[in-house]
Amino acid sequence: MATFVGAIDQGTTSTRFILYDQAAKPVVSHQLEFTQIYPQAGWVEHDPMEILATVRTAMEGVLTKATEQGIQVQGKLKAVGITNQRETTVVWSKSTGKPFYNAIVWMDGRTSAICRQLEEKLPQGGRHFVKTCGLPIHPYFSATKLLWLMESVPEVKTAIESGDALFGTIDTWLIWNLTGGANSETTIHVTDCSNASRTMLMDLETLQWHEPTLKSLGIPRSILPKIISNVEVIGEISEGWPFVGVALAGCLGDQHAAMLGHYCKKGEAKSTYGTGCFIISNTGEQIVPSNHGLLTTISYKLGPDSPTNYGLEGSIAIAGAAVQWLRDNLGIIKTSSEVEELAKTVSDAGGVYFVPAFSGLYAPWWRDDARGVLVGITRYTNKGHIARATLESMCFQAREVLTSMKADAAGGDAKVEGEFLLKVDGGATVNNLLMQLQADLLGSSVVRPADTETTALGAAYAAGLAVGIWTEKQIAELTAGSGASSIFHPQVTEDERERRYHSWNKAVERSFGLADLAS
C-alpha cells in the first residue's frame, strides 16, 4: 500500500508542494511564483497573505494532479514537512491573523542605519553578538528587521504593548496558520532551531532565545515563538486546508533542508543555487568560529534528544535573482531558462564583470554599502556578454566563500591545495553552462545529483523521520543510492582561472561605498 510524505517548499520567489513516495522519489508537484514588492531601492517585501494563498494553491494543485493521474493521496499522506526562505520577517495580530506590514525579505537592506547605530552603541561593535549567535550585526538577519517594524510601524508598537503581536519568520507564519490561525485552540506558535539561528537572537549552545540579547535590543520575549528541533511532530493541519488532520512533522530553513537532502555529515559541504547561493559545511557537534567572514550556524538537529550538528555558512545574496533581473528589469531574456543559450552565443564574457550587489554584499565581505556594478564594458559588449558575466558572477562569489571555508577548515591557511568535489542543488543547477563555469572558476569538480531539488527533499526527510517512515540509516542509503546525473570537471588552465579571479576581485572593490546609508 502506497505511503506518501509531503513537503511545503516556500522560497523567495515561488512556493511548491511536492509529494514523495516511500523511496523518496517525487511523485507529484505543483509550483507557482508570487509577487516581489520593491517599495524603493534596496527594499524587498512580500505579502504574507499572498504567500499563504500560494501554499494553499500548491497543495490543491498536487491533489488535482494526483487525481488526474489516478493516484490516491487521501489517507496515504502520513506527514508534511516545511522548508522556507530564512530571515524574512513577519509581525501579525494574534486576534485577527492579519499582518501589520508586509514581510521584510531576507535580502532587504533598509536596516543599514539601525545596524550602524547598534555598532556604535554596543561595546564590541558589529561583532557584539557573534560569540552567542554566530552572526555579525547586519541587515540580513531578522532581528534588525523586527527593530525596524517596531520603530517604523505604529500598529506594531501598539500591538506589542497590548499583547496582540506575534513575530515569526516564514516557517512560523505558515505553521501558525496551518494549525488554526486566529482564535483557534489548536494554533501553534513555534520556530525550528535552524530558522531561529538566523534571527541574531538565539544562543547557539542552548538553542534558546538569549535573554541578554533581547534586553540589549529591546525585543520582548512575549512575541517570540517557542524553538523546537528540526524533526518532531509539531501539530496537525487544521480545517480549511487541504490534507486536514495530517501531521506537520519537521521544519528546516531552506539551506539546512538542503543539507539534510544531501545528508551531509561532518566534513561535507553543499552549495544551493537559488535566488541566492548558500554554501554550508557540516562541522559536527562542534561550534566553529570563522576567521574569514563566514557565519557559524546550525546544520540540523534531527529530534529533540538528538545531537545538534553545527556548520559554517557562506551566504550570497544574489545568484538566480540576477538572472531574474535580466528578465524582469532589463528585458534581455523572456524566461530565466533562456539565459544559458544567450550566454553561449559568446565564447567568453568579453572582459565584462558583473557584481550583483543589489542590496550589499554578504559573505565573506559583509559590505552593506556595496551596490551593483557592471565593469569592463566596451563598444564590443553585447547582451550575450552580459548574460555570461551574470552566470560567472554566481561562480566567482561561490569561489570566494569556498576559499574562506577551506581556510577556516585549515586553521588559518588561506591557500589550501587539493581537489575536492562540490555537491550542488537548486533550480539554477539545471543550467549546464553555469555548472561548467563553476568548475572552471573553482578549479574543482562539481557534482550534480539526479534530484537537484534537495531542499524540498530535506523537508520530506524530516517529516518522514518524525513519523517513522524512514530511519537515519535509511536516509543515508537513499541518498547514497540516488546517483549523480552529471560531474563537471575544470576545463581552463590555472593561469586563466587566476587571471579572471583577480579581475573579479578588482570589480568587487569598485562596488564598495556606492550606497547612501543615510537614506
CA distance 364 to 353: 19
212-216 mean pLDDT: 96
Mapped onto helix, strand or coil, the DSSP state of residue 270 is strand
User: Where are the extended beta strands (E) located within 49-144?
Assistant: 77-84, 89-93, 103-104
Q: Which three cell numbers stand for residue 495?
A: 593561469
pLDDT tens, position by position, 240-271: 999 999 999 999 999 999 999 988 888 888 88
Angle between helices 254-262 and 454-467 (to 10 degrees): 80
226-252 mean pLDDT: 96
CA distance 374 to 366: 20
Neighbours of 185 (CB within 10 A): 5
Neighbours of 475 (CB within 10 A): 22
pLDDT at 4: 96
**All domains of the chain in start order, with CATH:** 320-424+493-511 (3.30.420.40)
465-490 mean pLDDT: 85
Among 358, 281, 295, which residue's Cα sits nearest to residue 87? 295
pLDDT at 420: 56
pLDDT tens, position by position, 111-155: 999 999 999 999 888 889 999 999 999 999 999 999 999 999 999
Among 206, 199, 219, 218, which residue's Cα sits nearest to residue 129? 199
Classify strands 190-192 and 89-93 as parallel, antiparallel or unpaired: unpaired
pLDDT exceeds cutoff 80 at 410: no
Among 160, 132, 164, 130, which residue's Cα sits nearest to residue 147? 160
CA distance 286 to 309: 7
- The pLDDT-based confidence of 281 (bands split at 50, 70, 90) is confident
